[in-house]
Structure 1
Amino acid sequence: MEIDLPDVVAEVTAAFDRYEAALVSNDVATLDALFRDDPRTLRYGGGENLYGYAAIKAFRAGRSPAGLSRELSKTVVTTYGRDMAVASTLFHRASAPGRIGRQMQTWVRFPDGWSIVAAHVSVIDQPKD
Protein backbone atom coordinates (compact mmCIF):
# COMPACT_ATOMS: atom_id res chain seq x y z
CA MET A 1 0.00 0.00 0.00
CA GLU A 2 1.23 3.44 -0.88
CA ILE A 3 0.87 6.08 1.80
CA ASP A 4 0.58 9.80 1.06
CA LEU A 5 0.51 9.73 -2.73
CA PRO A 6 0.82 13.44 -3.57
CA ASP A 7 -2.19 13.59 -5.91
CA VAL A 8 -4.44 11.82 -3.39
CA VAL A 9 -3.25 14.04 -0.53
CA ALA A 10 -4.09 17.06 -2.71
CA GLU A 11 -7.59 15.72 -3.43
CA VAL A 12 -8.39 15.03 0.22
CA THR A 13 -6.88 18.33 1.33
CA ALA A 14 -9.17 20.12 -1.15
CA ALA A 15 -12.19 18.20 0.22
CA PHE A 16 -11.12 19.03 3.79
CA ASP A 17 -10.73 22.71 2.87
CA ARG A 18 -14.20 22.66 1.30
CA TYR A 19 -15.58 21.18 4.53
CA GLU A 20 -13.88 23.84 6.65
CA ALA A 21 -15.20 26.70 4.48
CA ALA A 22 -18.70 25.23 4.67
CA LEU A 23 -18.44 24.78 8.43
CA VAL A 24 -17.45 28.34 9.29
CA SER A 25 -20.01 29.80 6.85
CA ASN A 26 -22.76 27.40 8.00
CA ASP A 27 -23.25 26.06 4.47
CA VAL A 28 -25.40 23.16 5.63
CA ALA A 29 -26.03 21.82 2.12
CA THR A 30 -22.31 21.39 1.48
CA LEU A 31 -21.73 19.89 4.93
CA ASP A 32 -24.51 17.38 4.27
CA ALA A 33 -23.05 16.56 0.86
CA LEU A 34 -19.62 15.83 2.33
CA PHE A 35 -20.88 13.21 4.79
CA ARG A 36 -21.67 9.78 3.33
CA ASP A 37 -25.41 9.22 3.10
CA ASP A 38 -25.39 5.89 4.90
CA PRO A 39 -26.77 4.60 8.20
CA ARG A 40 -23.23 3.50 9.16
CA THR A 41 -21.80 7.03 8.96
CA LEU A 42 -21.13 8.48 12.40
CA ARG A 43 -20.08 11.70 14.10
CA TYR A 44 -19.05 12.04 17.71
CA GLY A 45 -19.39 15.70 18.64
CA GLY A 46 -18.71 17.87 21.65
CA GLY A 47 -22.06 17.02 23.17
CA GLU A 48 -23.65 14.42 20.94
CA ASN A 49 -23.12 10.97 19.47
CA LEU A 50 -24.69 10.81 16.02
CA TYR A 51 -25.25 7.46 14.35
CA GLY A 52 -26.27 7.51 10.71
CA TYR A 53 -26.45 10.19 8.06
CA ALA A 54 -30.02 11.16 9.03
CA ALA A 55 -28.95 12.01 12.59
CA ILE A 56 -25.97 14.03 11.34
CA LYS A 57 -28.15 15.90 8.86
CA ALA A 58 -30.75 16.68 11.56
CA PHE A 59 -28.01 17.97 13.88
CA ARG A 60 -26.67 20.29 11.18
CA ALA A 61 -30.17 21.61 10.39
CA GLY A 62 -30.75 22.53 14.04
CA ARG A 63 -27.31 23.95 14.87
CA SER A 64 -26.94 27.65 15.58
CA PRO A 65 -24.85 29.50 12.98
CA ALA A 66 -23.36 31.76 15.68
CA GLY A 67 -19.74 31.45 16.78
CA LEU A 68 -18.51 29.06 14.12
CA SER A 69 -15.33 30.92 13.15
CA ARG A 70 -12.10 29.28 14.22
CA GLU A 71 -8.41 29.02 13.45
CA LEU A 72 -6.83 25.69 12.53
CA SER A 73 -3.38 24.40 13.44
CA LYS A 74 -1.38 21.22 13.01
CA THR A 75 -3.62 19.89 10.24
CA VAL A 76 -2.45 16.49 9.00
CA VAL A 77 -3.91 14.62 6.03
CA THR A 78 -2.68 11.05 5.66
CA THR A 79 -3.81 8.90 2.75
CA TYR A 80 -3.75 5.12 2.52
CA GLY A 81 -3.74 3.96 -1.07
CA ARG A 82 -6.04 5.87 -3.39
CA ASP A 83 -9.35 5.50 -1.60
CA MET A 84 -8.96 6.16 2.14
CA ALA A 85 -7.64 9.02 4.24
CA VAL A 86 -7.67 10.52 7.72
CA ALA A 87 -7.70 14.27 8.27
CA SER A 88 -6.81 15.56 11.73
CA THR A 89 -6.62 19.13 12.98
CA LEU A 90 -6.61 21.28 16.07
CA PHE A 91 -8.86 24.33 16.21
CA HIS A 92 -8.97 27.44 18.34
CA ARG A 93 -11.87 29.80 18.94
CA ALA A 94 -11.49 33.32 20.32
CA SER A 95 -14.66 32.68 22.32
CA ALA A 96 -12.97 29.80 24.19
CA PRO A 97 -9.55 30.97 25.45
CA GLY A 98 -7.58 28.26 27.20
CA ARG A 99 -9.45 25.53 25.32
CA ILE A 100 -8.40 23.62 22.21
CA GLY A 101 -10.57 21.68 19.81
CA ARG A 102 -9.62 18.42 18.13
CA GLN A 103 -11.19 17.08 14.97
CA MET A 104 -10.61 13.85 13.07
CA GLN A 105 -12.34 12.68 9.93
CA THR A 106 -12.12 9.42 8.02
CA TRP A 107 -12.60 10.02 4.30
CA VAL A 108 -13.33 7.33 1.71
CA ARG A 109 -13.41 7.70 -2.07
CA PHE A 110 -16.65 6.37 -3.57
CA PRO A 111 -17.62 6.42 -7.26
CA ASP A 112 -19.22 9.86 -6.69
CA GLY A 113 -16.19 11.32 -4.87
CA TRP A 114 -14.72 11.72 -1.39
CA SER A 115 -17.04 11.44 1.63
CA ILE A 116 -16.64 11.53 5.39
CA VAL A 117 -17.68 8.20 6.91
CA ALA A 118 -16.63 8.91 10.50
CA ALA A 119 -15.82 12.07 12.43
CA HIS A 120 -14.88 13.00 15.98
CA VAL A 121 -14.88 16.49 17.49
CA SER A 122 -13.90 17.28 21.07
CA VAL A 123 -12.65 20.23 23.12
CA ILE A 124 -10.22 20.04 26.01
CA ASP A 125 -8.30 22.43 28.21
CA GLN A 126 -5.17 23.69 26.46
CA PRO A 127 -2.36 21.30 27.42
CA LYS A 128 0.61 22.88 29.16
CA ASP A 129 3.16 21.31 26.76
Structure 2
Amino acid sequence: MKKYLLFLIFSLLISCNNDDNSSANNRLEGKWSWIKTSGGFGGPGYPEASSQKIVIEISNTTIKTYANGTLIKDQKYFIRTKESIFGGNKKMIVIDKGSSITQETYIDRSYEIKGKKLFLAEECLDCSTSEYDRIK
Protein backbone atom coordinates (compact mmCIF):
# COMPACT_ATOMS: atom_id res chain seq x y z
CA MET A 1 0.00 0.00 0.00
CA LYS A 2 2.87 2.38 0.83
CA LYS A 3 4.37 1.73 -2.61
CA TYR A 4 1.14 2.78 -4.31
CA LEU A 5 0.83 5.91 -2.18
CA LEU A 6 4.45 6.89 -2.94
CA PHE A 7 3.89 6.18 -6.64
CA LEU A 8 0.75 8.37 -6.63
CA ILE A 9 2.57 11.26 -4.91
CA PHE A 10 5.54 10.95 -7.27
CA SER A 11 3.20 10.90 -10.29
CA LEU A 12 1.44 14.04 -9.12
CA LEU A 13 4.72 15.84 -8.54
CA ILE A 14 6.13 15.13 -11.98
CA SER A 15 2.86 16.04 -13.68
CA CYS A 16 3.03 19.58 -12.25
CA ASN A 17 5.01 22.04 -14.33
CA ASN A 18 5.80 25.71 -14.52
CA ASP A 19 4.67 26.36 -18.08
CA ASP A 20 5.05 29.91 -19.43
CA ASN A 21 1.91 29.35 -21.49
CA SER A 22 -0.31 28.96 -18.43
CA SER A 23 -3.55 30.92 -18.49
CA ALA A 24 -2.15 33.55 -16.09
CA ASN A 25 0.84 34.20 -18.34
CA ASN A 26 -1.25 34.08 -21.50
CA ARG A 27 -3.52 36.93 -20.41
CA LEU A 28 -3.46 40.29 -22.13
CA GLU A 29 -4.15 42.11 -18.86
CA GLY A 30 -1.09 43.38 -17.02
CA LYS A 31 1.82 45.78 -17.44
CA TRP A 32 4.05 45.57 -20.49
CA SER A 33 7.34 47.37 -21.16
CA TRP A 34 8.15 48.42 -24.74
CA ILE A 35 11.17 46.63 -26.23
CA LYS A 36 11.11 47.61 -29.90
CA THR A 37 9.01 48.51 -32.92
CA SER A 38 9.77 47.27 -36.39
CA GLY A 39 8.40 47.93 -39.86
CA GLY A 40 6.12 50.71 -40.89
CA PHE A 41 6.82 54.13 -42.36
CA GLY A 42 9.00 55.19 -39.44
CA GLY A 43 11.24 52.15 -39.53
CA PRO A 44 12.59 50.49 -36.41
CA GLY A 45 12.30 52.11 -32.99
CA TYR A 46 13.92 51.34 -29.64
CA PRO A 47 13.57 52.88 -26.17
CA GLU A 48 17.27 53.83 -26.16
CA ALA A 49 16.92 55.85 -29.37
CA SER A 50 13.76 57.64 -28.27
CA SER A 51 14.94 58.32 -24.69
CA GLN A 52 11.54 57.13 -23.51
CA LYS A 53 10.52 54.21 -21.37
CA ILE A 54 7.07 53.25 -22.62
CA VAL A 55 4.82 51.06 -20.48
CA ILE A 56 1.31 50.00 -21.33
CA GLU A 57 -1.05 48.87 -18.60
CA ILE A 58 -3.94 46.78 -19.88
CA SER A 59 -7.00 46.05 -17.76
CA ASN A 60 -10.10 44.25 -19.00
CA THR A 61 -11.55 47.56 -20.30
CA THR A 62 -8.74 50.12 -20.69
CA ILE A 63 -5.25 50.56 -22.06
CA LYS A 64 -3.15 53.17 -20.30
CA THR A 65 0.08 54.28 -21.94
CA TYR A 66 2.88 55.81 -19.88
CA ALA A 67 5.99 57.57 -21.18
CA ASN A 68 8.73 57.89 -18.54
CA GLY A 69 6.12 57.32 -15.84
CA THR A 70 3.65 59.97 -17.08
CA LEU A 71 0.21 58.89 -18.30
CA ILE A 72 -0.12 60.00 -21.93
CA LYS A 73 -3.16 57.94 -23.08
CA ASP A 74 -6.13 56.34 -21.37
CA GLN A 75 -8.27 54.46 -23.88
CA LYS A 76 -11.22 52.10 -23.60
CA TYR A 77 -10.98 49.03 -25.78
CA PHE A 78 -12.60 45.73 -26.61
CA ILE A 79 -11.41 42.50 -28.23
CA ARG A 80 -12.87 41.30 -31.52
CA THR A 81 -11.93 38.37 -33.71
CA LYS A 82 -11.66 39.77 -37.21
CA GLU A 83 -10.13 38.89 -40.55
CA SER A 84 -6.49 39.96 -40.56
CA ILE A 85 -4.67 41.50 -43.50
CA PHE A 86 -1.94 38.98 -42.65
CA GLY A 87 -4.35 36.09 -43.27
CA GLY A 88 -6.94 34.23 -41.25
CA ASN A 89 -8.96 35.45 -38.29
CA LYS A 90 -7.10 36.97 -35.36
CA LYS A 91 -7.99 38.50 -32.03
CA MET A 92 -7.68 42.27 -32.27
CA ILE A 93 -7.59 45.20 -29.91
CA VAL A 94 -10.17 47.73 -31.08
CA ILE A 95 -10.23 51.15 -29.41
CA ASP A 96 -13.70 52.34 -28.40
CA LYS A 97 -13.91 55.74 -30.07
CA GLY A 98 -17.38 56.42 -28.67
CA SER A 99 -19.59 58.72 -30.71
CA SER A 100 -16.96 61.45 -31.02
CA ILE A 101 -15.46 62.08 -34.45
CA THR A 102 -12.75 64.27 -32.92
CA GLN A 103 -10.95 61.43 -31.18
CA GLU A 104 -7.63 60.45 -32.71
CA THR A 105 -7.63 57.73 -35.31
CA TYR A 106 -6.53 54.35 -34.15
CA ILE A 107 -5.64 51.33 -36.24
CA ASP A 108 -6.88 47.97 -34.98
CA ARG A 109 -4.00 45.80 -33.74
CA SER A 110 -3.85 42.04 -33.73
CA TYR A 111 -1.97 40.59 -30.80
CA GLU A 112 -0.08 37.49 -29.83
CA ILE A 113 1.37 36.48 -26.50
CA LYS A 114 4.39 34.18 -26.49
CA GLY A 115 5.64 33.38 -23.01
CA LYS A 116 6.32 36.75 -21.38
CA LYS A 117 6.24 38.71 -24.64
CA LEU A 118 3.38 40.63 -26.26
CA PHE A 119 3.42 41.39 -29.98
CA LEU A 120 1.06 44.07 -31.30
CA ALA A 121 0.71 44.30 -35.10
CA GLU A 122 -1.11 47.23 -36.66
CA GLU A 123 -3.58 45.93 -39.21
CA CYS A 124 -2.62 47.97 -42.26
CA LEU A 125 -0.17 47.78 -45.13
CA ASP A 126 3.32 49.01 -44.21
CA CYS A 127 2.44 49.47 -40.56
CA SER A 128 4.50 48.45 -37.57
CA THR A 129 4.73 45.63 -35.07
CA SER A 130 5.74 46.37 -31.48
CA GLU A 131 7.22 43.98 -28.94
CA TYR A 132 6.71 44.26 -25.17
CA ASP A 133 7.96 42.34 -22.14
CA ARG A 134 5.56 41.51 -19.32
CA ILE A 135 6.32 43.47 -16.14
CA LYS A 136 3.51 41.94 -14.09
Q: Same fold (TM over 0.5)?
A: no
Larger radius of gyration: 2
Greater share of strand residues, 1 or 2? Answer: 2
TM range (shorter): 0.3 to 0.5
Q: TM-score, structure 1 length as denominator?
A: 0.37
Q: TM-score, normalised by structure 2?
A: 0.36
